[in-house]
Amino acid sequence: MILDPLPPAPLGDSLLAELTALYASNHEFHTLSGDFPDPKDIRPEQVAAALAEEWEQPGTDILLARSFGRLIGIAVTLAHHPDPADPDPWIGLLMVDASLHGQGHGRRLAGLVEDRLRDSGRTAVRLAVLANNPKALAFWTALGYEIIDDRRDLRLDRPCAVLRKELVTP
C-alpha cells in the first residue's frame, strides 16, 4: 500500500470518479454519519465539496491509499484540533473501499498514518468515533486506541467517543 498526499487543487475527472466510488461503497457509514443527503446516491460534486471542506481546516492532509494502482482508501489528518488545549494531531477520516473490508487494509492504512505522524515528531494521535458506530469503535480499540472522552462533534453536533493512542517507536 502506498500513501500519496492529495494536493488542494481541482480534482481531475478520473480521480474524482475514483473518490466518488470509494465514498459510495461506504453507504453504511454514510447512513450513520449523515454526511450525505442520500448515502446510496453519492455524487461527484458532493465528494468534491466534502474534500474542499476538509482543506479549509489549517494543517489538513488528505492521503490516498493505493494498492496495485487502485484507490483502496483515504485518510484525512489534522495537525491540530480546533481546541488549542488539545496538543495531538487527529485522524478525521479513515475509509477503505467497502468491498475490501475485513482484509486488513484499514489496519495497514491506520498504521501508515501513525508512522507518518510519528516520523513528523508527534507522540500521540486522537480521533472521534460516532456513538452510533460500534464497528468503528471495535476497529480502533483493537488497534490500541483508548476512549478518553465523550463529546459532540463540532460540525453536526453528533455524540462521539474521543479516542487516543500513544505513538511509541516500534
Domain ranges for the chain: 2-166
User: Domain 2-166: what homologous superfamily?
Assistant: Gcn5-related N-acetyltransferase (GNAT) (3.40.630.30)
Dist. CA 11–CA 162, nearest whole Å:
31
Dist. CA 115–CA 28, nearest whole Å:
28
- Per-residue pLDDT for 36 more than 90? no
Contact 116, 88 (CB under 8 A): no
Contact 151, 114 (CB under 8 A): no
Mean pLDDT (whole number) for 41-64:
91
Contact 65, 1 (CB under 8 A): yes
- Per-residue pLDDT for 155 more than 90? no
pLDDT at position 91 = 96
pTM over 0.75: yes
Q: What is the pLDDT of residues 71-90, one digit of tens each?
A: 999 999 999 887 778 889 99
pLDDT at position 127 = 95
What size, in residues, is the chain?
170
Pairing state of beta strands 90-96 and 60-67? unpaired
What is the distance of C-alpha 93 from the center of its chain? 1
Contact 65, 73 (CB under 8 A): yes
- Per-residue pLDDT for 7 more than 90? no
Mean pLDDT (whole number) for 104-126:
96
* Amino acid at residue number 40: K
